[in-house]
Structure 1
Amino acid sequence: MRIHQQFRRALQPFRVVLTGYVLGLFILSLSRLALMLWQYDRVAASGDLVELLVLGIRADCIQMGYVTLPLLLILPVFWLRPLRRLGGKLQQIWWVCALTYVTFMEIATPAFILQYDLRPNRLFVEYLTYPQEVLSMLWGGFAEWLLIGAAALLVTVVLLLKLSRRLATSQQHEMSRAPRRAAIFVWPVLLLLMVFGVRSTLDHRPANPAFFAVTGDALVNDLVISSAYSVEYALYSMRHEANAALIYGSASLADIIQKVRQDNYLADKEFPFEAYPTVHYNRASRSYARPKNIVVILEESLGATFVEKLGGINATPELEALSEHGWWFEQLYATGTRSVRGIEAVVTGFLPTPARSVVKLPLSQQGFFTYADLLARQGYFTEFMYGGETHFDNMQRFFVGNGFQSVRGVADIEKPAFIGSWGASDEDLLQSAHARFEQLNGQTQPFFSLVFTSSNHEPFEFPDGRIELYAEPKQRVENAVKYADFALGEFFRKARQSSYWDDTIFLVVADHDTRVYGNELVPVSKFHIPGLILGGSIEPRTINTVTSQIDLLPTVVSLAGVSAWTASLGQDLSDVTQPPANRAMMQFGANFAWLQGHDLAIVTPAEDFTGQLDKQQHRFQADVTAREPLLEVATAHALLPSLLYQQQAYFVPQE
């Protein structure tokens, strides 16, 4: 009994720290239980609830260890009599701040899951740099949750302040009686236990989020860890983005390039630049006295979900009517789930990585291949047009540094009729684009224009009286899609009567689908997007093989009559001498999917999978018999882009 009392007294100097640690575990476990009950169908289909909760406690020991270790390390300094009061205040501040932080992250989690089907991650951090747009989006889509969350956080802070004061007062009162000599011996034991909790394993490498990826459902894997841990690991990973693909293993660039060049449509190409191993010459399939203008209309969040012709709902009648007049892609897949990933794929042809898009990475702000640079070298005038602020997602800096000669945003649209949270409406943007194209077509040089829409973005704001609503209330995604489609139809009615129609090739494509979700490692169905090439010189055609966003501009540039050196590995689908590649690649968080016809390989940091895609249900069916050849190709394409970025090798050298 006496030993027990002495041990309790020896722990007295650690009372505040240990109470905060245990309470943090309780808060995180309680939140996880609530989230798993909310998503119970998916949790039950993927694993045992109790087992996942216990594994979650292990992950929480890592998180609470991170915030506890720094204070625990310096705690003995504050046992000195002159510093006791300061030490008590410091522990109290730490206790409140640490637990408020983890609580805030858990409160923010449900809204993030509804939007991205994952816990808060790197996107949570990236969006903090755009408070106006993000707050407008949150207030428009999650106003009730924002109010509930703010109230819950306020109550939490008040309770934490009261409890921390009580604990600090009690500890300070009893410190004079605590045997500090015994505490000195307890201190290293606690440190050792805390370090082991953070490491969580005796293996060569410490645990990380991939260590807790124990199911085939990415969201359920995310629920095992905490949101604070997810965001912190994302911040850590952002410091090592040049080597991001190393989570899939390692291989030399030469070996990877050899594997990638075996793709059928690349097999007869020459690659003369050793320092730029993907650069090859692409000869145009058509020839004109003056190359055609090129206009790319990148539609915000317009996935196949909303296109009846692709198995979705009937929200895009204008696009579907236009599809009868051009090249229509039935099996086109986005490379990612964000606008910058879509820009990356369409404008640069760069393969996706687990890192941020190259639009935002430092080594790609100059000297990085884009089709704007390719066309500028061929005498084109190149321009980006956006209805919002062009600095968003670092677009302006990236574009100006890599071949775009002009960037136009909301300030360049004359007297817009409707301005929402994300800028001018699609009608205003496309009317401005139409006037601009009339002006540019009168000049001697052809032009390339990238037009990026924004009306189909939360909080789904668009002018009244323009469409018959798909459903009530007005501010819902189906209505925003229908409005974006209406604006697109209005633009093409004008374009087809314009002076530039016969001289221009248009590409209409989505950047990604909206709210990508699913109980799979990569929800392939939510990467399915519409794509259409049309213009005065384009005859109707349906392309029913698997196609990636990276294949679109190689095809359009060729149809425009431009032969040039390119760094992109996208295929020119207008080249009748080569069969279609029939493949697409998708990045979902840390998971990379390679779809080859019906075969599908998924490369993850924890384990790799192969099988087939049931295209009726868009469901992955595992099949280990297809493993090695398909997985080798997938892994090579997953590893390649990060190595090209790191070595600054994705560029066409000046001739």
Structure 2
Amino acid sequence: MIPDKRFPAKKAEQNSLYLVAIMAAVLISLSVLTRIILLLKSAGGVDFTFLNLLGLFVIGLFYDLVNAAYFTLPLVLYIWLTPRKWWQKRWHRFVVYGIFAFFIFGLLFNAVSEWVFWDEFSSRFNFIAVDYLVYTNEVIGNIQQSYPVGIIVTALLAATAALVYVLKPAIKNAAVQAYSFKQRSFRMLAYVAVLLLCFFLVNNKIRQFSDNTYVNELAGNGLYELFAAYRNNELDYAQFYQKIPDQTAFKKIREMIKTPESSFVDNNPFSIERKIVNAGKEKRMNVVLISVESLSADFLGTFGNTQHITPNLDSLAGQSLLFTNLYATGTRTVRGLEALSICTPPTPGQSIVRRPQNEGLFSLGRVFDQKGYESKFIYGGYGYFDNMGYFFANNGYKLVDRTEIKKKDIDYENIWGVADENLFTLATKEIEKTVKSGKPVFAHIMTTSNHRPFTYPEKRIDIPSHTNREGAVKYTDYAIGRFIKEAQNKPWFKNTLFVIVADHCASSAGKADLPVNKYKIPLLIFAPNVIKPARMERLMSQIDLGPTILGLLNFSYQSKFFGYDIFKLEPGRERAFVSTYQSLGYIRKDTLIILRPQRISDSFVPNFTDGSAKLIQPDNQLTEEAITWYQTASYQFKNKLMK
């Protein structure tokens, strides 16, 4: 170290880098104190063995140190980039006091937040906390109604002032810059190396060392767990939801998933793999699956809408196999894509489309590939959004997105993607490319225009662009109608099955936690030379669409899907799944079961018209069915049995 001669030697022995050690010491001290307090709070559920306590505090300290490395990054950057002469100014010392006050208040606020979260979930921060960061309006309102926020904030400000006052001598002595920029840069490189090691080598599974859940949770660090939850996008079903023994769940799911045309390939109690045998000659038809952004069933005149915003879809509905009782599994595009591609119930937390280790899954695209098709996912936006491109490219599909469209061929585009008419032009080219190669095609097309800001090319419809949702719906309807009309002039049209379905509804808000009317979506299967117009009014889940399409084609294959072929399913066995990130709904026999974190389950009689729900006495049989579906789906993905 080269001391600055303008400061006494004793003072120069310390320097600004010691500020990082002070900040880290504060964080670690508060983390350890928080861990002790939460341990005392949960004493009744903790196994107080020597190994548990040793692991709890040793592993906990390790995570505290890792979290300190992340947390001090802003301070390290500030020290690295701040000119040396500033540190010699008296005013700069007060800037440093302010920085410490800001970060210490944040740490204290986090400690209180951890207490509140633990009080409700008996857990460190997880995906629920990440979800809360998304729904800030509801969360802040709930906190204001539940806790004396003013008193808490005042107390935290007082505690912050007290801590800064106690630390003032140490901060003052360290607020000296004794290193040159070159020397600081070398130390910065070492620090970045440590961060990279933490990022790539450390995960939150290290703390899972005990059979006691409380111990494993206490061994974590709240801020680090929040970061890990954001990275992993997963809310562990087994930890937070009501469950039954895995062996019992899989015995039951094997009973419930069995259908007349299927038989299990082996006696593995944890496998749902079945051989599907459909009678008759296989129909090697092209399949064009259009998943429409935010297309609620109640937008269509066929479902009672009087605004006349879907004339093309309403016309097609009269010529198609129309499904009138279909429910989306979730409220986001990635959840719909999950249901349509891998045909699984929605597991809690984030969609599998966005999760790590989602490669090589058994998918609808893979079944078509096995039959000699070329499977394509064709998207009007950029494939990197919501991890869609990576997911489909690694699960049996060829990715085709807006990067394949030349600028001169784009009539209109916004942040989400190109206009739907340009998307369908691209899709037509891709379909013809595959058909001309001698292969049938399975093309999954994902639209984007029916999305805020509701903009599209002018003079296509009678509602100006950027007016409202109805205009966006009518434009998408126009684009689909134009696509079908142009396809009728193509040689491949007569041998093509057109499937039109929504990814989810336009809104999920309603009178109940899971308003079922906000999950109802349309489904049309149009192939005038093969399928006669008809209505299918049985209850159906979005995850049933894949097996139903394969059934219409008379395909025999080995399946790991959780979905049913609705035409082969015996009457009375219908069910549907609806969900948010946290609430998992199961519709069966006009009853709605909702599973929630903290192992809560409730039974309701839902109103399928206005979305309200009446709480009833627990239906134990249907609750166990709901648990079985969701628990086994989560188990299958977690244990890589969907691959």
Aligned-residue sequence identity (percent) comes to 26
Q: Match for residue 444 of structure 1?
A: 438
Which of 482, 487, 490 in structure 1 is aligned with 2:474?
482
Consecutive unaligned residues in structure 1, runs of 5 or more:
1-16, 22-65, 75-84, 104-118, 128-161, 176-202, 209-228
Q: Determine the C-alpha separation between the residues in 1 that align with 2:347 and 2:158.
A: 45
Q: Could you tell me whether the CA contact under 8 Å between 2:380 and 2:401 is conserved in 1?
A: yes
Question: Of 513, 524, 540, which aligns to 2:505?
Answer: 513
1:97-108 equivalences under 5 Å are 97=103
Change in 2 beyond 3 A, CA 1:581/1:446? farther
Deviation of 1:95 (Å): 3.3
Report the CA distance shift for 1:407/1:650 in structure 2 as closer, same or farther (over 3 A): same
3-state SS, counterpart of residue 298 of structure 1: strand
- Spell out the pairing of 1:140-539 with structure 2 (5 A cutoff): 236=229, 239=232, 241=234, 243-263=236-256, 266=259, 269-273=262-266, 277-284=271-278, 287-288=281-282, 291-312=284-305, 314=307, 315-366=309-360, 368-404=361-397, 406-414=398-406, 415-469=409-463, 474-536=466-528, 537-539=530-532
Return the TM-score normalized by structure 1.
Answer: 0.65
Q: Give the equivalent residue in structure 1 for 2:118.
A: none
Q: Structure 1 pair 100/474, CA: closer, same or farther in 2 (3 Å)?
A: farther
Contact 2:516 2:607 in 1 (8 A): no
In the aligned structure 2, how far is the partner of 1:513 from the partner of 1:171?
A: 55
C-alpha change, 1:528 and 1:355, in structure 2 (3 Å) is same
Q: Distance in 1 between matches of 2:306 and 2:104?
A: 46
Q: Partner residue of 1:96?
A: 102
Q: How does 1:115-154 map to 2 (within 5 A)?
A: 122=130
* Residue 308 of structure 1: how far off its partner (Å): 3.4
1:239 to 1:88, Cα distance in 2 relative to 1, 3 A: farther
Residue 616 of structure 1, CA deviation: 3.0
121 and 168 in structure 1: CA distance in 2 versus 1, 3 angstrom threshold: closer
Q: 1:398 to 1:474 in 2, by over 3 A?
A: closer
In structure 2, the CA distance between the partners of 1:245 and 1:167, relative to structure 1 (3 Å rule), is closer
Is the contact between residue 232 and residue 356 of structure 2 (CA under 8 Å) also seen in structure 1?
no
Equivalent AA in structure 2 for residue 96 of structure 1: F
Cα deviation digits, residues 259-286 of structure 1 (max 9, x gap): 2233375377322245661111222355
CA gap of 1:172–1:245, structure 2 versus 1, over 3 A, is closer
Q: TM-score, normalised by structure 2?
A: 0.66
Q: How far off is 1:352 after superposition?
A: 0.5
Q: Is the 8 A contact 2:97 2:164 kept in 1?
A: no
Corresponding residue SS for 1:482: helix
Q: Equivalent residue of 2:369, what SS?
A: helix
Partners of 1:231 and 1:321 lie apart in 2 by: 54
Aligned CA distance change for structure 1 residues 171 and 483 (closer, same or farther; 3 Å):
same
Q: 1:251 to 1:204 in 2, by over 3 A?
A: closer
Q: Could you tell me how far apart the structure 2 residues matched to 1:611 and 1:520 are?
A: 10
Partner of 1:5: none
Counterpart of 2:556 in structure 1 is 563
Note closer, same or farther for the CA distance 1:256–1:204 as it changes in structure 2 (3 Å cut).
Answer: closer
Q: Distance in 1 between matches of 2:132 and 2:465?
A: 28
1: distance between equivalents of 2:237 and 2:128? 19
Distance in structure 2 (CA, Å) of the matches to 1:533 and 1:513: 19
Find the aligned partners of 1:581 and 1:231 in 2 and give their Cα distance: 44
Q: Which residue of 1 aligns with 2:589?
A: 597
Q: 1:418 to 1:261 in 2, by over 3 A?
A: same
Q: CA 1:629/1:164 → structure 2, altered by over 3 Å: closer, same or farther?
A: closer
The residue identity in structure 2 corresponding to 1:501 is F
Aligned match for 1:640, one of 620, 623, 632: 632
C-alpha distance 172-253 of structure 1, shift in aligned 2 (>3 A): closer
- 2: CA distance between counterparts of 1:571 and 1:266? 8
- How much has 1:582 moved relative to structure 2? 2.2
Once the two structures are overlaid, the 10-residue window that deviates more, 448-457 or 613-622, is 613-622
Measure the CA separation in 1 of the matches of 2:515 and 2:576: 14
CA positional deviation for 1:584 = 0.3
CA distance in 1, matches of 2:536, 2:391: 32
Q: Secondary structure of the residue that 2:248 maps to in structure 1?
A: helix
- Which amino acid counterpart does residue 502 of structure 1 have in structure 2? K
Mapped to 2, the partners of 1:231 and 1:125 lie a distance apart of: 15
1:482 Cα deviation after fit:
1.3
Partner letter of residue 496 of structure 1? Q
Question: Once the 2 structures are TM-superposed, how far is the Cα of residue 395 of structure 1 from its aligned partner?
Answer: 1.6
C-alpha contact 1:348 1:369 (8 A) present in aligned 2? yes
After superposition, the Cα gap between the structure-2 partners of 1:88 and 1:70, relative to the gap in structure 1 and judged at 3 Å, is farther
Q: Distance in 2 between matches of 1:482 and 1:230?
A: 46
RMSD of the alignment, in Å?
A: 4.2
Alpha-carbon spacing, 1:572–1:165, altered in 2? closer, same or farther (3 Å): closer
Q: Distance in 1 between matches of 2:589 and 2:353?
A: 29
C-alpha spacing 1:169/1:268, structure 2 compared with 1 (3 Å): closer
- Alpha carbons of structure 1 residues 445 and 268: separation in structure 2 relative to 1, 3 Å: closer
Q: What is the Cα deviation at residue 479 of structure 1?
A: 1.2
